[in-house]
Amino acid sequence: MDFLALIDLSVLDSTVRLATPLLLACLAGLFSERAGIFDIGLEGKMLAAAFFSAAVAAITGSVWLGLLAGIAASLALSGLHGLASITFRGNQLISGVAINFLAAGLTVLIAQDWFSQGGRTPSLFGGGRFEGITLPFAETLRAVPFFGPLYYELISGHSILVYVAFAMVPGTWWILFRTRFGLRLRAVGENPAAVDTAGVSVVGLRFAAVGICGILCGIAGAYLATGLQAGFVKDMTAGRGFIALAALIFAKWRPWHALWATLLFGYLQAIALRPDIIEGALGFQVQVQLLDALPYILTVVILAGFVGKAIPPRAGGAPYVKER
Amino acid sequence: MDVMPKWAEVILVPLISLLLAAILSALVILAIGEDPVAAVKLMVSGALGSTYGWGYTLYYATNFMFTGLAVAIAFHARLFNIGGEGQATLGGLGVALACLYIPWPHWSLALVGATVMAGLFGAAWAAVPAFLQAKRGSHIVITTIMFNFIAAAVLNYVLVNLMRPAGSMDPATARFPEAAHLPTLHDMLTPLGISFSKAAPANVSLLVAVGACILLWVLIWRTKLGYEIRAYGHSESAAKYAGISPVKITMVAMLISGALAGMMAINNVMGEAERLVLNAVEGAGFIGIAVALMGRSHPLGVFLAAILFGFLYQGGAELALWTSIPRELIVVIQALVILFTGALDNMVRMPLERMFLAARMRRAPKPDRKPTTPAQ
């Protein structure tokens, strides 16, 4: 048994890449659920953003326009979720299910109509993709033992969206726990009646939270199609929205913990691609299916409350009805 | 409460929701440059124009009846079972075990055995989330979603590593023995002098599904347990006060729900594929949500909605075959139905309620009568 072999630099590098969309989606869900709006439509929003970012990047050749289109698409679905669950006080879970299917169907339908390539976009290259950025001094410091390769391989060389995602962690913490807006946002998820009594609009706050969720999901989807991969393929989110949801519960709705949870789940995805490393480290074969299922099993265990209970925001899932 | 007459509640609201979904779907077809009228004609002729089309429509409808009933019974206890997909996957495993390892003398006995196994496996897969909801308060929607993914991993493991016949590269079980093959509608109707397409997969499990609809209706509206489930769904505190155990109702409702979802496997695994393959469920577990919402969680409604979705599925397959409209159009229609009948229900309901209220006020303008406030 050589557990140190599990900490392989290339695996850690792909951990960072694979954790990025999870982290962005997880923080997106965090904003929404902290404001009392359950969102199981993260998957659909990411998928829509992935398609529109890849499609617009393929047509215009500009990845930045693609990113904007992805965010716009995700925001549109967020608006729909807000309309259903805030304005018309519908069931938030059912609305999320509908959004997932809407995105799964519409992306393929539109992709077939625009590109006629069987529900995918053309491959992106050059300016149509987010390329890795080499951070300053990465080349010069490479020779330094231990820290050199670590800095060069692990920290440097990712696309800008990866750094945005990691910066969003302290950003989210600061917004939620150090600003007036954040205090109100958390309050509206715990006790909307109190917020209403204080004269602050519950509907406005919740729409703001759902909007932020849409923007973050948009970035996550755009990263998936234009950073991690080069183009959109059918159902490319492959359950990442639900893994992000699992990470959110794992993190018990806290930003820093969301980072660790998504890194853990990202690591599980990365190591599943390298069965040779696992076998070398543990001395026996671990079934790929077990690694695939592990994030979900861990989440169920956490939800069961055997390892520290996960308590969601109190007003989550319930529409707010003003007293008349 | 009763702002609207019952017929408006039961027929008008779903119909308007369906109409809205249909109009939006037509706009989507227009937007991708196809003709919606021609598309509908093609769907009708493809799904209902021949016994072959009907055979497929009824085959899909059988799946959706099981999963729709599964979601519906959970809805009655105000539980949202989104895990029909995983429960049906496990049900398939139960059917495969029953068909492959027990030498059945006749298909009728095999059907009974497979139905029991499918129900048991599906119920077992629903039992853990149900227990966690009842005892630990873990949100059942999240746990059932997680169990869908775990089920996919379990089936993948079982098919790749355990049940794959030696020498086969395909992640699937061996074919079921001849004695476990179910008669299709063709086999059943030919002795009666009715000619029915031989190629269509609709089979005797359609009758099991219809039987399940009837039994569930009896259970919900004619038994003490059904009353308790409905009472619990309407008000947990009132049910508790009446001595109904929330743990028991949650467990029982979810076990029935899981069993129904699992029993879908007698149609798709035993009746059609005659072996267990990866992704045998093909999303039917999720369509159950749309079917239950559309059918207002009533068995008769579920029956009709399942046939509607069976028609959409077969019609959509025909569209994909003959036009450039991909099969995913059905997913869009399904999403719109869920959206309008489920999430945006109040959008349809509020103006209708206002209309009925105004009509009633005009008919009986008593000045001392307090106006009823619309629900919510």
Amino acid symbol at B299: P
Q: Is residue A316 part of a domain?
A: no
Amino acid at A157: G
Round to whole Å and give the CA distance between A23 and A262: 6
The C-alpha torsion from B35 through B38 and B39 to B44, rounded to 10°, is 160
Chain A positions touching B82 (Cβ under 8 A) are 93, 97
On the 0-12 / 13-18 / 19+ scale of CB atoms within 10 A, B364 is exposed
Instruction: Specify the CATH number for the domain of residue A214.
Output: 1.10.3470
Give the pLDDT of residue A4. Answer: 67
Residue B326 and residue A119: Cβ atoms within 8 Å? yes
- Give per-residue pLDDT as tens, A84-122: 999 888 888 889 989 999 999 999 999 988 888 877 888
What's the total number of domains in chain A? 1
From A193, A186, A240, A196, select the one nearest A217 (Cα to Cα): A240
Looking at residue A270, what is its pLDDT? 86
Amino acid at A34: R
- Closest of A44, A71, A60 to residue A121, by C-alpha: A60
CA nearest to A92 within chain B: B343
Mean pLDDT along residues B304-309: 93
Reply yes or no on whether the pLDDT at B7 is more than 60. yes
- Which residue from B minimizes the CA distance to A110? B32
Q: Which residue has the higher pLDDT, A291 or B128?
A: B128
How far is Cα A91 from Cα A8, in angstroms, rounded to an integer?
45
Does residue A117 lie in a domain region? yes
- B374: confidence class by pLDDT, cuts 50, 70, 90: low
Set of chain B residues whose Cβ sits within 8 Å of the Cβ of A293: 149-150, 153-154
Residues of B in contact with A80 (CB under 8 A): 339
Residue B265, both tokens = 């496997």
d(CA B356, CA B358): 5
Average pLDDT, chain B: 89
B31 vs A contacts (CB less than 8 Å): 113
The per-residue pLDDT for B360 is: 82
> Domain range spanning residue A89?
3-122+141-304
How high is the pLDDT of residue A307?
Answer: 61
**Residue A27: CA count within 13 A, CB half-sphere:** 30
Q: Do B138 and A85 touch (CB under 8 A)?
A: no
DSSP string, B143-189: HHHHHHHHHHHHHHHIIIIISSPTT--SSBPPPPPGGGPPPBHHHHH
What is the spatial distance between Cα A54 and Cα A136, in angstroms, rounded to a whole number?
A: 29
Q: Do B145 and A242 touch (CB under 8 A)?
A: yes
CB A289 to CB B345 under 8 A? no
Task: Name the residue ranges covered by the structural domains of chain B.
Answer: 65-297
* Count of CA atoms in the C-beta half-sphere (13 A) of A35: 30
> Are A101 and B330 inside 8 Å of each other by CB?
no
Q: Is residue A66 part of a domain?
A: yes
Asked whether the beta carbons of residue A40 and residue B149 sit closer than 8 angstroms, the reply is no
State the Cα–Cα distance between residues B248 and B254, nearest whole angstrom.
10
**How confident is the model over B152-211, as pLDDT tens digits?**
999 999 998 888 888 888 888 888 988 888 888 888 888 888 888 888 899 999 999 999
Whether residues A245 and B142 touch (CB distance < 8 A) is answered with yes
DSSP per-residue letters across A296-323: HHHHHHHHHTSSS-----TTTTPPP---
Residues 106-125 of A with CB under 8 A from B: 106, 108-110, 112-113, 116, 119
What was the pLDDT predicted at A115? 87
Q: In DSSP terms, which residues pair with B184 in a beta bridge? A: B203
Residues 261-320 in A contacting B (C-alpha not used; CB under 8 Å):
287, 289-290, 292-293, 296-297, 299-300, 303-305, 312
* Nearest CB partner across the interface for A101, out of B139, B146, B335: B335
Residue A315 inside a domain? The answer is no
Task: Report how many Cβ contacts below 8 Å link chain A to chain B.
Answer: 156
| Cα–Cα distance for residue pair A250/A221, rounded to 1 Å | 22
Cβ burial of B82 (10 Å; 0-12, 13-18, 19+) is buried
Closest chain A residue by Cα to residue B293? A94
Residue B101 CB coordination number (10 Å): 7
CB contact under 8 A, B344 and A83: yes
Q: Looking at residue A3, what DSSP letter applies?
A: G
Cα distance between residue A39 and residue A42, in whole Å: 6
Which residues of chain A have a CB within 8 Å of the CB of B331? 101, 104-105, 108
pLDDT digits (tens, 9 = 90+) for B222-238: 999 999 999 999 998 99
Residue A313 lies in a domain: no
pLDDT-flagged residues of chain A (< 50): none
Report the mean per-residue pLDDT for chain A: 87
Phi-psi region of A124 (alpha: psi -120 to 50; beta: other; left: phi over 0): beta
One-character DSSP codes across A79-137: HHHHIIIIIS---HHHHHHHHHHHHHHHHHHHHHHHH-SSS-PPPP-GGGS----PPTT
pLDDT score for A300: 85
**SS3 annotation, A167-180:** HHHHHHHHHHHHCH
pLDDT of residue A129: 81
Residues of A in contact with B335 (CB under 8 A): 98-102, 104-105
What does the pLDDT look like over B143-153, one tens digit per residue?
A: 999 999 999 99
Per CB-CB distance under 8 Å, the chain B contacts of A318 are: none
Chain B residues with CB-CB distance to A95 below 8 A: 339, 342-344
> H or E element: which one contains B47?
helix B36-48
Render pLDDT for A303-324 as a digit per residue (tens, 0 to 9). 787 666 667 788 887 888 876 6
Interface test with A, best of B142, B294, B345 (most A CBs within 10 A): B142
Which chain B residues are Cβ-neighbours of A119 within 8 angstroms?
326, 328
Predicted confidence band of residue B34 (pLDDT cuts 50, 70, 90): confident
Instruction: Find the closest chain A residue to B339 by CA distance.
Output: A98
Classified as helix, coil or strand, A232 is: coil
A155: in domain: yes
Look up tokens 């695939």; give the residue. Answer: A292
